[in-house]
Amino acid sequence: MNTYQVAVLAGDGIGPEVMHEALRVLSAVAQKYGFSVKCVEKLVGGAGIDACGKALPADTLEACEASDAILFGSVGGPKWESLPPDERPERGALLPLRAYFGLYANLRPGVCLPELTASSPLKDSLIAGGFDILCVRELTGGMYFGEPKFYGERDGELVGLDTMIYHRHEVERIGHLAFRAARSRSCRLCSVDKANVLSASVLWRSVMTELAAQYPDVQLSHMYVDNAAMQLVRNPGQFDVIVTENTFGDILTDEMAMICGSLGMLPSASLCTRNGGKTFGLYEPSGGSAPDIAGQGIANPIAQILSMGMMLRYSLGQPRAADAVDKAVRAVIAAGFRTRDLATGAPGERLIGTASMGDAVLDALT
Ligand code: IPM
Ligand code: MG
């Protein structure tokens, strides 16, 4: 029997409650599809700061290092907001994990299911039938990590400096991944940049254009990021796969999440290649720790469950189990089950809490 090890980092806020549901679903699919998973639970984020003063404690990193994948909940909350920016849970845990493992490819699916179009702030006429976008965001380059970086006094004045830099190899590797992703879907790839202004984007566009020759079956288009922000709310259905650099991806994926209806539905995967070609990754919901609703049993666990499903697909090599998780979630939505974030009050909806949503997914699996 295949046995995998997963580092489980539930974190803060709603993290632990939604993680609990994802782990129940994980053990059910493992049993059903004949593999076993050893979950090693470790502290991260505010929970790590409270326990040992560090958002990413050394033994948490060691457990990640020794695992096939990281299943991450969410970090942060008002309690830690007064810390210096670098030490806050979000930056102190996520950015170091991305940098340490070189998790350069962030896949963020933006799926608006046909049953959930009413939860989207976009008019029904714009999104009838729902839509399905995949954003591939470069995650370890650009302004987030570019050097020099500086904050302080210079010539008697306070300055802040970040550097947007891309190297050819960074654009190539994310480009290949995006072209392959497009190939597995409807063969349309839109590369988003700001090549009318930024040199890093001139490089980005020229490398993407060059790579296109190796993927003649994929139709590549280019779009400026300001236009892309507009097109996403004007006609999201025009997009299939979007590939973009780190900062643009950060902004566009929040916009994409919003128009999908609820952050509580959206998973994500941050990937790299490790240990002789295996896909290692950190899998986390796109939404945050939602401290305002933590501990009330009303958070939507679906994003965490779908993130676990992405882990089955990409890092554990269990595509059938991953398909079963996706299918179960769709069935639960089609049956009318709704956590509070999804409810519109329409007839046929059944308003339920976190644990009941977990139960519903488990029922749909079996
Ligand atoms: C995200 C988040 C992070 C980012 C923060 C928490 C550092 O916004 O994953 O999109 O900016 O990448
Ligand atoms: Mg973000």
Kindly write down the DSSP assignment for every residue of 259-290, as one continuous string. Answer: HHS-GGG-EEEEEEEETTTEEEEEEEESS---
* C-alpha of 70 from chain center: 13
129 and 48, same domain (yes or no): no
90 lines ligand 1 (CB under 6 A): yes
Question: Do residues 203 and 168 lie in contact, with contact meaning Cβ atoms separated by under 8 Å?
Answer: yes
Residues composing the chain? 366
- Taking alpha carbons only, the member of 341, 308, 342, 340 closest to residue 325 is 308
- Taking alpha carbons only, the member of 283, 365, 233, 321 closest to residue 109 is 283
Q: Looking at residue 12, what is its pLDDT?
A: 98
Catalytic hit among 12, 104, 166, 194: 194
Q: How far is the CA of 61 from the centre of ligand 2 (A)?
A: 22
Q: Looking at residue 292, what is its pLDDT?
A: 96
255 lines ligand 1 (CB under 6 A): no
44 and 161, same domain (yes or no): no
266 and 317, same domain (yes or no): yes
Quick one: DSSP state of residue 90? I
136 and 29, same domain (yes or no): no
Question: Do residues 109 and 133 lie in contact, with contact meaning Cβ atoms separated by under 8 Å?
Answer: yes
List the domain range (segments joined by +) for residue 181.
121-260
Domain boundary among 244, 260, 276: 260
Q: How far is the CA of 247 from the centre of ligand 2 (A)?
A: 9
Question: Do residues 128 and 166 lie in contact, with contact meaning Cβ atoms separated by under 8 Å?
Answer: no
Q: How far is the CA of 92 from the centre of ligand 2 (A)?
A: 15
Query: Bridge-partner residues for 111, per DSSP?
Result: 132
Distant-in-sequence, close-in-space partners of 7: CB < 8 Å, separation ≥ 6: 40, 42, 60, 63, 64, 66, 67, 69, 70, 71
94 lines ligand 1 (CB under 6 A): yes
128 and 255, same domain (yes or no): yes
Count of domains observed in the chain: 2
Cα–Cα distance list, 166 to 153, 172, 216, 274, 336 (Å): 27, 10, 25, 22, 46
Q: Where are the beta strands (DSSP E) in 114-234?
A: 131-138, 150-154, 157-161, 188-193, 219-224
Indicate if the alpha-carbon torsion angle 206, 211, 212, 218 is positive or negative. Answer: negative
Question: Do residues 59 and 51 lie in contact, with contact meaning Cβ atoms separated by under 8 Å?
Answer: no
Domain boundary among 228, 260, 292: 260
Establish if 353 belongs to a structural domain: yes
Establish if 305 belongs to a structural domain: yes
Q: Looking at residue 177, what is its pLDDT?
A: 98
194 a catalytic residue: yes
Query: From the CA of 268, which ligand is nearest?
Result: 1
291 and 343, same domain (yes or no): yes
Query: Which atom of ligand 1 is nearest the CA belonging to 139?
Result: 12
Query: Which atom of ligand 1 is nearest the CA belonging to 106?
Result: 9
Tens digit of pLDDT at every position of the chain (366 positions): 899 999 999 999 999 999 999 999 999 999 999 999 999 999 999 999 999 999 999 999 999 999 999 999 999 999 999 999 889 999 999 999 999 999 999 999 999 999 999 999 999 999 999 999 999 999 999 999 999 999 999 999 999 999 999 999 999 999 999 999 999 999 999 999 999 999 999 999 999 999 999 999 999 999 999 999 999 999 999 999 999 999 999 999 999 999 998 889 999 999 999 988 899 999 999 989 999 999 999 999 999 999 999 999 999 999 999 999 999 999 999 999 999 999 999 999 999 999 999 999 999 998
Establish if 44 belongs to a structural domain: yes
Establish if 332 belongs to a structural domain: yes
Q: Looking at residue 165, what is its pLDDT?
A: 98
- Which residue has the CA at smallest separation from atom 1 of ligand 1? 250
88 and 141, same domain (yes or no): no
- Which residue has the CA at smallest separation from atom 10 of ligand 1? 250
Q: Looking at residue 86, what is its pLDDT?
A: 86
Q: Looking at residue 113, what is its pLDDT?
A: 95
Helical segments of 105-198, H only: 124-127, 168-183
Task: State which of 70, 72, 88, 90 you would mutate to test the pocket of ligand 1, scoring each by most atoms of that ligand within 8 A of its C-beta.
Answer: 90
Query: Which atom of ligand 1 is nearest the CA belonging to 76?
Result: 6
Query: Which atom of ligand 1 is nearest the CA belonging to 254?
Result: 10
87 and 129, same domain (yes or no): no
Q: Looking at residue 223, what is its pLDDT?
A: 98
249 and 137, same domain (yes or no): yes
144 a catalytic residue: yes
Q: Looking at residue 66, what is its pLDDT?
A: 97
Place of tokens 């993927």: 215
Catalytic hit among 226, 292, 323, 363: 226
Establish if 73 belongs to a structural domain: yes
Establish if 115 belongs to a structural domain: no
155 and 235, same domain (yes or no): yes
CATH number for the domain spanning 210: value is 3.40.718.10
Query: Which atom of ligand 1 is nearest the CA belonging to 98?
Result: 12
Q: How far is the CA of 250 from the centre of ligand 1 (A)?
A: 6
Q: Looking at residue 366, what is its pLDDT?
A: 87
- Which residue has the CA at smallest separation from atom 6 of ligand 1? 90
pTM of the model: 0.96
Q: How far is the CA of 251 from the centre of ligand 2 (A)?
A: 6
Per-residue tokens: 76? 């942060």
Establish if 116 belongs to a structural domain: no
78 and 7, same domain (yes or no): yes
Q: Looking at residue 262, what is its pLDDT?
A: 86
Quick one: DSSP state of residue 346? -
250 lines ligand 1 (CB under 6 A): yes
Q: How far is the CA of 287 from the centre of ligand 2 (A)?
A: 9
Catalytic hit among 4, 104, 144, 166: 144
In this structure, the dihedral spanned by the alpha carbons of residues 304, 322, 336 and 23, taken in order and rounded to 10 degrees, is -40
Question: Do residues 73 and 39 lie in contact, with contact meaning Cβ atoms separated by under 8 Å?
Answer: no
91 lines ligand 1 (CB under 6 A): yes
193 a catalytic residue: no
Establish if 125 belongs to a structural domain: yes
Quote the crossing angle between the two packed helices 246-260 and 225-234, to the nearest 10°. 10
Q: Looking at residue 229, what is its pLDDT?
A: 98
Domain boundary among 229, 260, 291: 260
Distant-in-sequence, close-in-space partners of 359: CB < 8 Å, separation ≥ 6: none
Q: Where are the beta strands (DSSP E) in the chain?
A: 2-11, 35-41, 69-74, 105-112, 131-138, 150-154, 157-161, 188-193, 219-224, 241-244, 267-274, 278-285, 337-338, 350-351
39 and 100, same domain (yes or no): yes
Q: Looking at residue 275, what is its pLDDT?
A: 80
